[in-house]
Structure 1
Amino acid sequence: MLTAAVAGAVAVLAFAPFGYWPLQIASLGVLFYQVLRASDIKKSALVGWAYGFGWCAAGTHWLYISMHRYGDMAAPLAVIAVALLALLMAIYVALAMGAASWLRQRWTLSIPVMALLVLPAMWTLFEWTRGWLFTGFPWLATGYAHNASPLAGFVPIVGSYGTGWLAALSAGALLLTMHRTRWPALAGVVALYAAGFALQGVAWTHAVGRPISVRLLQGNVPQQEKFDPGFVLGALNMYQKAITAAPADLIATPETAVTVLPHQLPPGYLDNLASYAQGTGSTILLGMPVLDEQQQFYNAALGITGQPAGVPYYQYRKHHLVPFGEFVPPGLHWFVAMMAIPLGDMGRGAEVQPPLAVRDQLVLPNICYEDLFGEEIAGQLASAHRAGRQSASVLLNISNLAWFGDSIAIPQHLQISQMRSLETGRPMLRATNTGATAVIDGKGVVLSQLAPVTQGALAASVQGMGGMTPYILYGNKLMLALTVLALAAAVLLGRAGQRRGAGQ
């Protein structure tokens, strides 16, 4: 179990900011090897549990910063909370490896069948389950490590989870280099990566309309000051000056750049921004909370285009909320009470919301944690396509990661946004409080970004993209079909082997 935990922790080096993606395949190879050597289902599950703990604890240790530094939770309790989360998330790996071991015993499966069909499929299915069960926590999903590997060519087809399955398949195949099937396994890995490299040259989407000019603001407001009433006015003035410093087709602020409700703003604040937008032809996307007619709060983005008086501003309301950050799961208010963080139960925006028109482009916002859920973003694009409407041509993420300091959470989140660009073939813009504020093209390449934990504005010209990738049209269905087929093939091979054994 110690070896498994270390292997899981080492796998974090495959992700941003390190990027040593081959380590992830080697790490999974160690896990699969240990499961194949385990003598029973319980030992396989324990090995998986240890691996998952090392993976999650090393990869999300920055949660300690938000709970201790900004939430005033006692350091020992914050450490325990991070460890408990890692232990809970590790259950998915334990179940995956335990289920794989059960199938092996039930059908007397061979090592090649386990390495190529069962273990990669079980790993992927339970990783996908982690991404949606109890609202999901898909951080550090396997596929994210491969945004810059040859497997990136498969992302527009099978998405991040399908790419994770291919990585696990690679690990199983390389494991067979210690088996008598080493040469076919090596040939398969070479063919897989060659195909991925070739697929990177396929243009799934195409340019639409004229490029737009953008200015993405990074306020670098310290988290300890952000919600302090004594600092709110200063932040409002800072963002007003940053917005009106220069015109652009789209000017975007970070998530909750404005921390008060519209009716709590200084008189004329939004009107002055609207006048500037109208006078310069700019569109402003302002991150701020809003309140509906039922007095329900929403984490939202307000689109100000200089519309005539009486015409409501564009609104995007966050749909996928963060547990404990934006809603409190039933029965767990006692945990929130241990932290001095302004939390509450917010409302959920609609699953499908209209994009914001910016000249020739349609910009689809998402807020912070939402861009971890690729199928939801792809679903919005597919919904417009199926309804005969033009789908969004540019994606925009507004975030505030100041909760996690200058930690690896910032480059990890940037890598997640790169995966969304690869899946959809759309550029992704990022306007954040402390980083990473960046422009990503439709191939997942970061074209420009601001240095983290600095104040500034990133100016760029962005070309919108149209068309449908297979992932937009089918989401995770292709990945699910492939993994289920792999398991079905394993069972059929197992049955055939049992019949041959009985015949002898």
Structure 2
Amino acid sequence: MPNDFPTLSGRRWLSALLLLVAGAAQTLTFSPFQWWWLAPFTIALIVFITLPLTPRQLFRAGWLVGFGLFGSGASWVYISISQYGNTSVPVSILLTLLFVAGLALFHGLTFWAWGKLAKNSAIRRLILFPALWLLGDWLRGWLLTGFPWLYLGTAQVDGPLAGLAPMVGVHGLTLWIVGSGAALYAAGWLLLRQRSAGAGVLVTVFLLPWLIGPWLKDVNWTEKAEQPLSVAAMQGNVPQLIKWDPKFLQDQIATYLELTEDNWQKDLILWPETAIPLPQDQAGQILEHIRERLAPGSTLITGIPWYGFSDRIEDFTFHNSILSVGNGDGMYHKQKLVPFGEYVPLQQWLRGLIGFFDLPMSEFSRGPANQSPLTAGDARVMPYICYEVAYPDFVAMNAHRAGLLITISNDGWFGDSIGPLQHLQIARMRALETGRYMIRGTNNGVTAIIDDHGQIQDTIPQFTRATLHGEVYEAEGSTPYMQSGSWPVLTLAAILIVFVRERVIPKPA
């Protein structure tokens, strides 16, 4: 370990506090704060505190970082549990703390593995830290359906590394951000040892992508169609508490019909997730009315639950779905379901314990893989429902099949928290990674049109009942990230671990 660099050894409470603060400060890099520049400095602080620690100590340190990050950045889940889950405040607080503490375990295990693989070599630890952080992020986005939220690279949709996103994806950006933070620490170490030349080289190398990224931001990796599609997206701002109340069904449908009144001639009309809060087998009259109102060349795409017999699971089931009506075709069933919101794990034991485990429409089944895109006239449209847009490789893989992306959501579950704004930022990163326009339709915000560079063309403010008008372009071709996904950066991380780690088992004599 670098024994001539200041440490906080022996100051446990100060170290613990700073680790919590460093994790919480990473939330400031995301929307609505957008202090993207802060991320490398939080990493440098974390490395400064944790570099000398043992693997057991590193587990606790990583858990504290994770608790700070998710306790500040994902605490919006409390609103879903408390306000809309019919759960008492003490139980809501307990469940939120368990959720945050569970997510923090990913950081704890990542830091523990870091110490185990690098042993006591400071150089190995500095090299392996970005690789282990990246693999920890990837594991968190996959294990137990995953929680692909608060990846540091997402904040770069407004930062200088944005130009690299279509090439390496959000995980590639995260790898470089964490590497830059580790390099900051290493440069300080070299300066203290009066190795200014080495520090200068290190800083220069890690600054290059930050300087090159802005030059790549305007590169067009895909080719836009010559003619745009006219679109209209409706934001009904239906209160979550009445969303599934049959007494308000007619009012909800009337709201969306009224918002669509002057837009039936648009090429593509978008209603949000479960805008029709009635299974499709019971919504025949509503859908027929929509078909009658649509102009001959117009398509309406809406969120609607689906109920019927599934050959795949050999039973009757519900799907959270999206349907194309009019001059279009297709139905898509959501594949990435939200635990407890759309299905209840271990439901035979949890159903009925508290209101949160009995939320309306929490019995959805996962849709099949490799579903075809929807159509809107001649346009092929790939849909993503709510949480699905947070999965970078899932979005990139399916975007191959279409020239336009849409995502629908009902972020009313999260009230006026920062959750919906983070969700919008994530959608912007997916548009940037795939070089495709994305239309985002939500119940209460933020409804938006996002261009192929991840930039917002227009929005409807949150908690507003209104219609968004605009134009979008289909795209042909693929970005480098769509061709490879995250595998190149994940492979690089694995190679670093294999060849840089200190051997745990010595060679036999």
TM-score in same-fold range (> 0.5): yes
> 3-state DSSP class of the match of 2:425?
helix
Distance in 2 (CA, whole Å) between partners of 1:336 and 1:430 is 34
Q: Within the alignment, does 1:189 sit opposite 2:209 as a pair?
A: no
> 3-state DSSP class of the match of 1:37?
coil
Residue of structure 2 in register with 1:387 after alignment = none
Q: What whole-Å deviation, never above 9, does each CA across 1:423-450 have from its counterpart, x for those lacking one?
A: 1011111010011100000100011100
Amino acid at match of 1:410: P
Residue of structure 1 in register with 2:458 after alignment = 448
The answer (yes or no) to whether the contact 1:151–1:166 under 8 Å persists in 2 is no
Q: 1:73-472 alignment to 2 at 5 Å? A: 73-105=87-119, 108-111=120-123, 113-115=124-126, 117-180=127-190, 181-208=198-225, 210-246=227-263, 247-265=265-283, 268-277=285-294, 279-293=295-309, 294-306=315-327, 314-330=330-346, 333-334=349-350, 337-339=353-355, 341-382=359-400, 391-472=401-482
Shift of 1:264: 2.9
**Uncovered stretches (5+) of structure 2, i.e. residues with no partner:** 1-15, 191-197, 310-314
Distance in 2 (CA, whole Å) between partners of 1:450 and 1:10 is 29
Amino acid at match of 2:122: S
Distance in 2 (CA, whole Å) between partners of 1:479 and 1:190 is 19
The answer (yes or no) to whether the contact 1:153–1:196 under 8 Å persists in 2 is yes
TM-score (norm 1): 0.90
Q: What whole-Å deviation, never above 9, does each CA across 1:379-417 have from its counterpart, x for those lacking one?
A: 1234xxxxxxxx311100010000111111111000000
Amino acid at match of 1:46: R
Aligned alpha-carbon RMSD (Å): 1.9
> 3-state DSSP class of the match of 1:259?
coil
Question: More displaced, 5-14 or 23-32?
Answer: 23-32
Shift of 1:142: 1.6
The answer (yes or no) to whether the contact 1:141–1:164 under 8 Å persists in 2 is yes
> 3-state DSSP class of the match of 2:83?
helix
Amino acid at match of 1:185: L
Shift of 1:332: 7.1
Amino acid at match of 1:70: Y
Distance in 2 (CA, whole Å) between partners of 1:381 and 1:64 is 33
> 3-state DSSP class of the match of 1:151?
helix
Shift of 1:176: 1.5
The answer (yes or no) to whether the contact 2:330–2:373 under 8 Å persists in 1 is no
Of 74, 82, 102, the match for 1:60: 74
Amino acid at match of 1:20: W
Q: 1:45 to 1:345 in 2, by over 3 A?
A: same
Distance in 1 (CA, whole Å) between partners of 2:80 and 2:438 is 26
Residue of structure 2 in register with 1:32 after alignment = 47
Distance in 1 (CA, whole Å) between partners of 2:383 and 2:267 is 15
Distance in 1 (CA, whole Å) between partners of 2:352 and 2:50 is 38
Amino acid at match of 1:145: A
Shift of 1:345: 2.5
**Uncovered stretches (5+) of structure 1, i.e. residues with no partner:** 308-312, 383-390, 500-504
The answer (yes or no) to whether the contact 1:35–1:101 under 8 Å persists in 2 is no
> 3-state DSSP class of the match of 1:397?
strand
Q: 1:37 to 1:332 in 2, by over 3 A?
A: farther
Q: 1:2 to 1:302 in 2, by over 3 A?
A: same
Shift of 1:285: 0.6
Q: 1:336 to 1:62 in 2, by over 3 A?
A: farther
Distance in 2 (CA, whole Å) between partners of 1:135 and 1:57 is 20
Q: 1:401 to 1:23 in 2, by over 3 A?
A: same
TM-score (norm 2): 0.90
Question: More displaced, 417-426 or 187-196?
Answer: 187-196
Q: What whole-Å deviation, never above 9, does each CA across 1:144-181 have from its counterpart, x for those lacking one?
A: 11111111122112211111111101111111121114
Q: Within the alignment, does 1:17 sit opposite 2:9 as a pair?
A: no
Distance in 1 (CA, whole Å) between partners of 2:452 and 2:349 is 41
Distance in 1 (CA, whole Å) between partners of 2:69 and 2:129 is 17
Shift of 1:7: 1.1
Aligned length: 475
Distance in 2 (CA, whole Å) between partners of 1:452 and 1:143 is 25
> 3-state DSSP class of the match of 1:300?
strand
Amino acid at match of 1:295: F
Distance in 2 (CA, whole Å) between partners of 1:236 and 1:378 is 33
Question: More displaced, 329-338 or 370-379?
Answer: 329-338
Distance in 1 (CA, whole Å) between partners of 2:262 and 2:225 is 29
Residue of structure 2 in register with 1:502 after alignment = none
Shift of 1:114: 2.2
Q: 1:334 to 1:233 in 2, by over 3 A?
A: same
> 3-state DSSP class of the match of 1:11?
helix
